[in-house]
Amino acid sequence: MKRKTKGSNQSALHDRQNPLTPLATSLKEELHGLSPLSSLCCIYRVPKRLRHVNENAYTPQVVSIGPFHHGKKSLKAMEEHKKRYLQDFLCRTNVSMEDIVKRIRDQEARVRSSYAETIEFSVDEFVRIILVDATFVIEVLLKSYFPEFRNENDCLFNKPWILQDVWPDLRLLENQLPFFILEDLFNLHETQVSSNSNHTMRLSVITLSQ
């Protein structure tokens, strides 16, 4: 027993004295902390080699959608208008703020997994971004497709040059939301083609029409 104890002590001492041990331990911890690969990943950053050719071609100029460009000073002017569209969405669907927050929060991990890099926002911050941006996208599509949904004082549709700047931003690779969350929110309230029709419209049809 004494020899075994002595050998164990010598091995532990050797590990502590081995200069390679701290690095090996650190690397093993990093590997252990890797997040699992997700089959949901569908939203990526544009490669730097493409961005260097023309930065503006891959960067939103008017409105940020999703977490990649959120908070940029040059895009803050549209944030208040996005909240107005959230208000329009809630009024149109008659859904409570609590219900829509819960709906997105329940899928927060799935939405987060759709992005090809780690999103540093907290759960509440991330849910806020997705909620505001998703309802904005839905309302832009609906107001474009159905003129009767527009407010007479809507600055996007009353000033077409602003809307013409918004459309390219909504098509950018880095400026996207996973389509399933848009469909989920859109389906909270079936949108009729007109007030005199029972025919409902799918989000995919409206999106492809733009």
Confidence of residue 196 (pLDDT cuts 50, 70, 90): very low
Rounded CA-CA distance 64/73 in Å is 11
How confident is the model at residue 1, as a pLDDT?
47
pLDDT digits (tens, 9 = 90+) for 29-71: 888 876 665 677 889 999 988 888 888 889 999 999 999 999 9
Rg of the chain over Cα atoms, rounded to whole angstroms, equals 25
Confidence of residue 194 (pLDDT cuts 50, 70, 90): very low
How confident is the model at residue 78, as a pLDDT?
95
207 burial via Cβ count (<10 Å: 0-12, 13-18, 19+): middle
pLDDT digits (tens, 9 = 90+) for 1-19: 445 555 555 555 555 567 7
Q: What is the DSSP string of 31-94?
A: HHTPPPP-TT--B-PPPHHHHTT-GGGSS-SS---SSTTTT-GGGGGGHHHHHHHHHHHHHHHT
How confident is the model at residue 186, as a pLDDT?
93
CB 60 within 8 A of CB 75: yes
pLDDT digits (tens, 9 = 90+) for 58-106: 999 999 999 999 999 999 999 999 999 999 999 989 999 999 999 999 9
pLDDT digits (tens, 9 = 90+) for 152-173: 888 898 887 889 999 999 999 9
How confident is the model at residue 106, as a pLDDT?
97
Structure pTM?
A: 0.80
How confident is the model at residue 37, as a pLDDT?
58
Q: Dihedral, CA atoms, 34, 36, 38, 44, nearest 10 degrees?
A: 0
